[in-house]
Amino acid sequence: MPRDFLKNVRREYDVIVIGSGLGGLTAANVLGRTGYRVLLLEQHYKLGGLATWFRRPGGHVFDISLHGFPFGMIKSCRRYWTREIADSIVQLKNIRFDNPVFSLTTEFNRDDFTRLLIERFAITQETVHRFFDTVRAMNFYDDQSMTNGQLFERFFPGREDVVRLLMEPITYANGSTLEDPAITYGIVFSNFMSKGVFTFQGGTDHLIHLMERELRNNGVDIAIRSEVDEIQVRGGRVCGVRVGDRTIGARAVVSNANLLATVNRLVGPEHFDRTFFNDASAVRLNNSSTQVYMALKPDDKIDESTGDLLFSSTAPAFRTDLLLDRNITSRTFSFYYPRIRPKSPPRCLIVSSTNARYEDWADLAPGEYEGSKQDLIETTLDALDRYVPNCRERIAYIEASPPRTFQRFTQHLGGSSFGTKFEGLMVSRELPKHVRGLYHAGSVGIIMSGWLGAINYGVIVANDVDAQLTAAAIG
Amino acid sequence: MTPDDIRDEILDILSTIAPDEDLSDLKDDVAFREQLELDSMDFLDIVMELRKRYRVQIPEEQYEQLASMASTVRYLEPIMKDKQRAG
């Protein structure tokens, strides 16, 4: 008989959280800490969603998305998790750009970007300050008609090189494009590119382990390998979830699944009015990713001057279609040095990340698919050789993940690795007005994506749930 | 609770949210954001803490009432006048 992963689960809870990405984990933790009876359900056997890792023979441990997140993570982890988690966050100090137009190294903060823009790009100090102040003042309620492309044109007309410097890291972090609303860029830029970039010492597995321990300390029940088939709704309000043939009652449900899957598959169209359902159906998915994971032989070391994060490109210009093209020209290399995992055998690992379109990979025949993966590996090694000389001989293990791998792992529609586009945020926030007790906390609208955005959105939604349950208790 | 009690309580919440800030010189009529490094998550924390301690519900459209100490106390006074100090 298969193991029953729901064996110790109660018949009902105050809140059920579906999905254990950082948003789901954080919502569960905040609500558990507040005193609610919370159940966290995860379809995979590991918690963390895309905050994840995997092991391969030879003692290699690969992190998927650990490098790097903004300064604000320290505060959010201290407040919504533990001091121990916050204290393990360390800065990555060597951020490099290398493309046909410029090659430079930066500390990735406002002072250093200001210096670079003035010294290397001959922008006046006044323009740089005005740009930083303008994006910093951007607010979610501002006019949404201006695009990123228009914002850059206003401050740096005709300067593709500047756009590249200011945009490439954001594209890596959350899939933003020049066609997306400028306010989404402004908010993320001000968080991400003003106080440096950070990572978690000990690796993703250590972080998720500490989070799981804290969840249990706060009384949260956790069940892995438990895929929710249905969010049950009766009389316009949530009453529980169904996992296979098991029904579990709840007064509120927080879905950390993809927004479109939540509306379409977990709840179902019949529970929404037509206008809202149409709005929800019109939300665009964000793009997917490809990654290539490489481990150096155990005794080989990469010189740390190679950088922690390297935004590399051979494309002559920065364009959305080039970024997503299967003929890859842009790669972000994350270098993991032994200091990131001080308790593990000393290893140097490299992860190459590129944004990609799911549809380019979805329908390939098996042979073609394997061929494309091999091609991805070869072209990545070609590109890496410039930074890690003779890398082909030095690498002990290599593996590629196309969008289909992301899809299989996260169950996200279209293998989306950054949730939905901006309009998803409004739909996500409106859900409880249409089905009482139904909430969504997941990657929506760029602002709520990335590690910090996901954690903070989990808190924002936990606050909404607490408000609803408190109101019900007061009567 | 009196307006003075409410002010003390807000100071206590602020001291947990912004442990590194010196609150002794806080000016009541000047926006918190002009004196302290607070972001929108910090204001959300004030809202959550007030709900936890006093079951006070502040709807999202009223968050702007929390801009300064003076406006916060003015907004909370009628809501909290019948509440007892927690703990």
Per-residue confidence (pLDDT) for residue A1, from 0 to 100: 53
Q: In 10 A of CB A388, how many CB atoms? A: 21
* Residue stretches of chain A with pLDDT short of 50: none
Contacts of B55 in chain A (CB under 8 A): 470, 474
Per-residue confidence (pLDDT) for residue A145, from 0 to 100: 84
Cross-strand pairs, A38 = A15
Give the B-side interface with A, CB within 8 Å.
17, 39, 41, 44-45, 47-48, 51-52, 55, 57
Q: What is the torsional sign of CA A39, A44, A49, A55?
A: positive
CB spacing of A466 vs B47 below 8 angstroms = no
Per-residue confidence (pLDDT) for residue A141, from 0 to 100: 63
Contact by Cβ (8 Å): A222, A409: no
Cross-strand pairs, A41 = A18, A223
Could you tell me the domains of chain B? 3-80 (1.10.1200.10)
Cα angle value A390/A302/A206 (rounded, 5°): 130
Q: In 10 A of CB A89, how many CB atoms? A: 19
Per-residue confidence (pLDDT) for residue A151, from 0 to 100: 95
Cross-strand pairs, A312 = A98, A331
Contacts of A138 in chain B (CB under 8 A): none
Of the candidates B44, B45, B57, the beta carbon closest to that of A470 is on B57
Where do we find the tokens 């918690």?
A47
- Total residues found in chain A within this entry: 475
CB spacing of B41 vs A471 below 8 angstroms = no
pLDDT in tens, A412-455: 888 887 788 888 999 999 999 999 999 999 888 666 668 898 99
Give burial (CB, 10 Å; 0-12/13-18/19+) of A359. exposed
Of the candidates A75, A459, A470, the beta carbon closest to that of B55 is on A470
Strand order in the sheet with A69-70: A69-70, A197-200, A89-92
Per-residue confidence (pLDDT) for residue A48, from 0 to 100: 96
Average pLDDT over residues B3-13: 96
Q: Name the minimum distance, in Å, from the CA of B26 to any CA of chain A.
A: 22
Per-residue confidence (pLDDT) for residue A231, from 0 to 100: 98
The answer for residues whose C-beta is within 8 angstroms of residue A319's C-beta and 6 or more apart is A178
pLDDT in tens, B21-56: 899 999 999 999 889 988 888 999 999 999 999 999
DSSP state of A65: S
Per-residue confidence (pLDDT) for residue A140, from 0 to 100: 64
Phi and psi (nearest 5°) for A64? -80, -40
| Residue A85: closest CA among A51, A50, A121, A36 | A51
> Which residue on chain B is closest to A456 by alpha carbon?
B41
Whole-number percent of chain B with pLDDT over 70: 98
Per-residue confidence (pLDDT) for residue B85, from 0 to 100: 76
Contact by Cβ (8 Å): A421, A284: yes
- Residue of A29, A470, A474 best to disrupt the B interface, most CBs of B under 10 A: A470
What does the block give as tokens for A219?
A: 């009384």
Contacts of B39 in chain A (CB under 8 A): 72
Per-residue confidence (pLDDT) for residue B28, from 0 to 100: 96
